[in-house]
Amino acid sequence: MTAKPLYVAGLDAGGRHTRCVIGLVEEGRLRYLGHGEVESAGWSRDRLSDPSALTLCIGAAVREAEKKAGVSVEGMVVGVGGAGVEGFDNSGAYEFNHPRQVSREHMSFALDRAANVRLDEDRCLLQICPQDFTVDGRAGCQNPAGATCKRLEANVHVITAWKHEHTMLVNAVHQAHYAVEETAYEPLAAAYAAILAEDRTRGVALVDIGCDSTDIVVYEGESLVLARSLPVSADHFTRDVAWVLKVSYEDAEKIKREYGCAILGLTADNSLIEVPSPEGRAPREAPRRVLNEVLEARAEELFQFLKEALAAVAMEQNLLEGVVLTGGGSLLVGMCDMAERVLNVPARLGLAIGMENWPDEANNAAWTAAAGLCMYSARLKLKREWKRKAPGLIGLVLR
């Protein structure tokens, strides 16, 4: 009997664009089938204000992806991000009455203890990310199976979200007549798509710069040590341009994309750019340097916030693989250069890798989170096989 095709999908319902990616899992590999993108509606400054409008966007984006893929999907993994997401460390212990050899069941029990956290009424659990184990006081053990001890402690990073916001997002997908297989923190999904496992072990930060939020994850070894949002997003850059050049938000966005640079000296700063004027007035000109000075100041502020966040977890000098930038805001020319200037580490754009037939038109950092969510959906569908074959933490828990 021919096996039923295993279709997977990821949905990135961002503040500016709603994106969907559909793939097919075959022989343990993920192959791209189709993608769809529409302008987002229903969001107001990082908050979901009109779920019905978002439902229409979700339906349109998924239908476009289904049309290109030539298949229909029933459900998908949905990305969650924004200032409402918070992460913190937690641990859970398994006390033995006498020295015992650690089994995978003991490890799972300790992880369950660590995941059992009491949250405020307005918070919900988004993801549990295993870090390592502490065996009789000896920290940093990745896979203690077979070791003998009296106390086994599991260390995890807990990621939570605003319950009301999370519920509205899930309901918006349901109203579009699609199931939510799971929700996932978007920069985690982007890291899954753009960063190899060996890169994570050497220390790396992923910065997902979206329209309304900039979300980060930081890895040390195999452990997630930080997940949080920064108070500067791509929207701040555009609003700065609109304010200084006295243009509409839409015109400011266009000017930023066509002429902007996040660092002075990389473009012809002494040239003039045409600035739209209100109806009835002749077009104006402005020095390109004025535009780039505004963008440079905001970009420097963004990475200063990142530097402070890294210092809070003692990672400012431990990012041997540097920072990886994703999201539409990362496409501004000079963002990697500014990251390297402020953080003194290598910086690059994060592109999706590991999906066969990934199209050139989506091969940019704005699509990385959507691709990662699709990959995460594939990982969910293959959960039992992964748990059976994979060693270490990934074989114990999916997240």
CATH code at 300?
3.30.420.40
CA-angle at 188, arms to 7 and 330, nearest 5° = 105
In tens, the pLDDT along 350-385 reads 999 989 999 999 999 999 999 999 999 998 888 744
Same domain, 341 and 209: yes
Of 349, 371, 394, which residue constitutes the final position of a domain? 349
Q: Is the pLDDT of residue 16 over 60?
A: yes
Section 240-265 average pLDDT: 93
Distance CA 11, CA 28 (A): 22
Nearest Cα neighbor of 62 from 14, 6, 11 is 11
Same domain, 219 and 332: yes
pTM value is 0.91
CA of 246: how far to CAs of 202, 270, 291, 343, in Å?
45, 20, 12, 32
Longest dimension (CA), the chain: 85
Section 86-103 average pLDDT: 92
Chain position carrying tokens 């990821």: 10
Same domain, 203 and 287: yes
Q: Report pLDDT for 284.
A: 85
Distance CA 302, CA 11 (A): 26
Strands (E), the chain: 6-13, 17-26, 29-39, 43-44, 47-48, 75-80, 86-101, 123-135, 138-141, 148-162, 179-185, 204-209, 214-220, 223-230, 272-275, 284-287, 323-326, 347-349
Nearest Cα neighbor of 288 from 253, 308, 306, 264 is 264
Section 158-175 average pLDDT: 95
- CATH number for position 111: 3.30.1490.110
Q: Does residue 109 belong to any structural domain of this protein?
A: yes
Same domain, 121 and 243: no
pLDDT band at 9 (very low <50, low <70, confident <90, very high): very high
Same domain, 201 and 306: yes
Distance CA 370, CA 83 (A): 19
CA of 175: how far to CAs of 57, 67, 73, 268, in Å?
11, 20, 15, 49
Section 271-296 average pLDDT: 87
Phi, psi of 183 (to 5 degrees): -105, 145
Section 185-206 average pLDDT: 93
Residue scoring higher pLDDT (281 or 329):
329
Q: Is the pLDDT of residue 399 over 80?
A: no
Same domain, 259 and 153: no
Q: Report pLDDT for 222.
A: 80
Q: Is the pLDDT of residue 261 over 80?
A: yes
Section 259-264 average pLDDT: 93
Q: Report pLDDT for 280.
A: 65
Distance CA 269, CA 59 (A): 43
Same domain, 118 and 254: no
Q: Is the pLDDT of residue 104 over 80?
A: yes
Helix (H, G, I), strand (E, B) or coil at 163: helix
Buried b (16+ CB within 10 A) or exposed e, 274-310: ebbeeeeeeeeebebbebbebbbebbbebbebbbebb
pLDDT band at 282 (very low <50, low <70, confident <90, very high): confident
Distance CA 159, CA 363 (A): 29
Distance CA 125, CA 45 (A): 23
Q: Does residue 24 belong to any structural domain of this protein?
A: no
Provide the number of structural domains found in the chain.
2
